[in-house]
Amino acid sequence: MSQRPAVGCLVEVLETLVLTVVIFFGIQAFVAQPYKVQQGSMENTLLPEQYVLVDKLSPRWDAYSYGDIVVFHPPLTWNQGSDVPFIKRVIGLPNDTIELKDGIVHVNGVALVEPYIFTDASGTQQQSYPAPGGASRFVVPAGELFLMGDHREDSADSRNFGPIEISKVIGRAWLRYWPFDKIGLLPVPDHPELASPAP
């Protein structure tokens, strides 16, 4: 019996495997990739050990907006030798002025409504204060974003290291897929208060 059919079958299997690997890594590089939440800075929106899918494609034509949850590479001085990206929420866009006053975030003079901020067991929502010894007012440069965690008292974010270049943002987290009982799209607030100019 000829071994050619067996060899041909093996070649087809190898070609299929190679193609599958190429497609898999191509999708992760350019379309979407999984991300495991490892910090508590987004509680209670996202908890450690949960998994989200990060959209890397749509930001190419759909710019980041207020309230988007994004995954990004932190400044080298803050990654503590780790290559694990951070996950935070977009609070300020390019050219915005961010002020932290009386525990409330103001964007271009407008108090930001933030229903997603961490609330403790008593129903008390955390306040948004500057980092210890840090600035309370920031002007976001062109091409950068101001990012903060939802758990304001347990988040190293733009209050600590300043705005982040958009080029350092991996993508927009849009779907929680693990655990299964928490699967679903991540809600993004509309922030109608920012739609009109400040009084």
Q: What residues are annotated to the active site?
A: 41, 88
Q: Do 53 and 174 contact (CB within 8 A), yes or no? A: yes
Give the whole-angstrom CA distance, residue 148 versus residue 145. 10
Angle CA(89)–CA(83)–CA(134) in degrees, nearest 5? 50
